[in-house]
Amino acid sequence: MGEAFEGTIAFRVVVALRDDIVTMALKPGDVISESDIAGRYGVSRQPVREAFIRLAQQGLLLIRPKRATVVKKISPDGVRQSRFIRESIEVEIIRRVATAPAAETAAVLAELIADQEAASAANDSRRFHKLDELFHRTLARLAGVEYAWQLIDDHKMQLDRVRYLTLGVSSSQRAIAEHKIIAEAVSKGDVASAEAAMRAHLGRAELLLNQTIEDFPDYFE
């Protein structure tokens, strides 16, 4: 997002609150108020209020006029549709890249996968997560639609909350293997295989979601 207000207090509050929400320090259903947060951060209500507005538009908060503001519960159907949107766009991206692969494509993807293997070997899950994201964003860049990835990124916050609930079960080995299949198909210009591999790669999240709903029913609508 082109956040053009980085120096402001409101920006600091947005970043802090968003982090708290995604990492589940603020749990779905938690009630917060402008004065509450203002006091906690030692600022006035005004910048907090503006942060609330921004986070509400991102689907993380629900401002209830004259009542209170709550951390939005995760909507299973919303997550499902976010996945639908992501799969639609990423499939189209992979088609474009595979249809006319640029010269650099194979090398760039291979290097990213090598980095991922290094991070996996070092058990650095945070770095692996970053590299995983970078892999997908790079594909968007190669397709000339990096902005489209930003859109996915916005909606990925909901998914990230789910992901955070299931920390540690991420099998980076399998993800890397799937990345390799995708990269190979793309580099060869095999559109159909690339699309199928991407769908398989993204499809695994569905099971994860259902499991998570069972484990943490209070966090979902």
Binding footprint of DNA on the chain (CB under 7 A): 5, 8-10, 32-36, 43-47, 49-50, 52, 63-69
Q: What are the tokens at 153?
A: 């990124």
27: left (phi over 0), alpha (psi -120 to 50) or beta: beta
The CA–CA distances, whole Å, from 156 to 34, 42, 84 equal: 26, 30, 12
- The least CB distance from residue 118 to a second copy, in Å, is 32
User: SS3 for 69?
Assistant: strand
- The least CB distance from residue 82 to a second copy, in Å, is 8
Residue 211 is which amino acid?
Answer: Q
- Is residue 17 a contact partner of residue 55, using CB atoms and an 8 Å limit? yes
- Is residue 34 a contact partner of residue 45, using CB atoms and an 8 Å limit? yes
Residue 43 interacts, among DNA, a second copy, none and using kind-specific CB cut-offs from 5 to 8 Å, with: DNA
Q: Which of 177, 95, 191, 89 is nearest to 137 (CA)?
A: 89
- The least CB distance from residue 85 to a second copy, in Å, is 5
Residue 84 interacts, among DNA, a second copy, none and using kind-specific CB cut-offs from 5 to 8 Å, with: a second copy
Q: Which residues bind a second copy (CB under 8 A)?
A: 1, 4-5, 7-8, 49-50, 53-54, 56-57, 62-65, 77-78, 81, 84-85, 87-89, 91-93, 145, 147-148, 151, 155
CB nearer to DNA: pick between 5 and 84: 5
Residue 81 interacts, among DNA, a second copy, none and using kind-specific CB cut-offs from 5 to 8 Å, with: a second copy
- The least CB distance from residue 70 to DNA, in Å, is 9
